[in-house]
Amino acid sequence: MAQQELQVQQKREVEKKQESTAPARTYLPTTDIFETQQALTVVMEMPGVDNQNVQVTVENDILSVNGRIDFSKYEGLQPVYTEYNVGHYARSFQLSSKIDQGKITADLKDGVITLTLPKAEEAKPRKITVG
Amino acid sequence: MISSFRDPFEDLFAIQRALDAYRASDWLGGRTAGTGSFPPINVFQQGHDFMAIIELAGINKKDLDIQAKENTIRISGKKAITYPEGASMHRRERVSGVFDRTLSVPIQINPDGIKAEYRDGILALHIPRAESEKPKTVKIT
């Protein structure tokens, strides 16, 4: 089967209730979320963010991920041709199923962060046998 | 009552200006087989040389192929995404597939001197200007 040719995905900017004081833009990372029997996995693409500049928090069942771009790398560079905007990344999700919050793990590789949110024991599906 | 009036033509002119700038730019041009528009490229000038910064998250370095010839650079490869078996998808925004793109540089470059670095989902190409292109100081005798 021929593989699909990739197209550029336009970045979506975060719509915030408040304006931020700093002028930098913030974009929504493209995200995949899938669920297995053991865990909920959230995969986000944040190119340019290294593991020093990423913050993951869970508060009141809201998962927030913040990735910051180190703009100092662009110092001394004069743009001559640009196709995309560079900005920070931020996105948050309301978690529906019960998550074991102490066991959340995050792994950042090649600009892709993978969050594994293990389900709490009581939220895992149980097989009930009919006696 | 409408307190402020926004000129609807302003948006149209902005689009036209953007299109003109896009077409007038020398940085694009399909001079090899690679004609795709992915991945997006930003080009910066750094002193005499150029730096192309390309957003390309989640690629295996082995699946990335960069060729340079005269003043064109071809970037091709594939992006694979795997999901565990039996997973139920809640949200699927990331895309996988193949890409093949050519960047034409409107100056003479030194193709042997191009350095590529892939880190944190960003591909950075350092493109040195050819020696013959560099400005020369003329001494007054």
Tokens of B87: 């997973």
Distance from CA of A44 to the nearest CA of B (A): 8
Residue B20 has pLDDT above 50, yes or no: yes
Chain B hits for A38, CB-CB cut-off 8 Å, are: none
Chain B hits for A76, CB-CB cut-off 8 Å, are: 46
Chain B hits for A50, CB-CB cut-off 8 Å, are: 119-120
- CB of B49 closer than 8 Å to CB of B128: yes
Residue B32 has pLDDT above 60, yes or no: no
Q: Closest to B98 (Cβ–Cβ): which among A6, A9, A47?
A: A6
pLDDT, tens only, A22-48 = 777 889 999 999 999 889 999 999 999
pLDDT, tens only, B91-137 = 899 999 999 888 888 888 888 889 999 999 999 999 998 887 777 78
Residue B1 has pLDDT above 60, yes or no: no
DSSP string computed for B45-114 = EETTEEEEEEE-TT--GGGEEEEEETTEEEEEEEE-----TTPEEEEE----EEEEEEEE-SS-B-GGG-
Q: Which of A50, A78, A81, A119 to mutate to test the interface with B (most CBs of B within 10 A)?
A: A81
pLDDT computed for residue B29 by the predictor: 53
Banded model confidence at residue A97, pLDDT cuts 50, 70, 90? low
pLDDT computed for residue B108 by the predictor: 85
CB-CB under 8 Å, B36 with A5: yes
Averaged confidence pLDDT in chain B: 83
pLDDT computed for residue A81 by the predictor: 85
pLDDT computed for residue B30 by the predictor: 46
Residue A3 and residue B78: Cα distance in Å, rounded?
9
pLDDT computed for residue B54 by the predictor: 93
**Which is nearest to B98 in space by CA: B49, B33, B23, B43?**
B33
Q: Closest to A34 (Cβ–Cβ): which among B37, B87, B99?
A: B87
**Which is nearest to A97 in space by CA: A32, A44, A35?**
A35
Q: Which of B93, B98, B102, B127 to mutate to test the interface with A (most CBs of A within 10 A)?
A: B93
ipTM exceeding the 0.95 mark: no
Residue A80 has pLDDT above 50, yes or no: yes
Residue B22 and residue B18: Cα distance in Å, rounded?
6
**Which is nearest to B30 in space by CA: B73, B66, B1, B59?**
B73
Residue A90 and residue A69: Cα distance in Å, rounded?
11
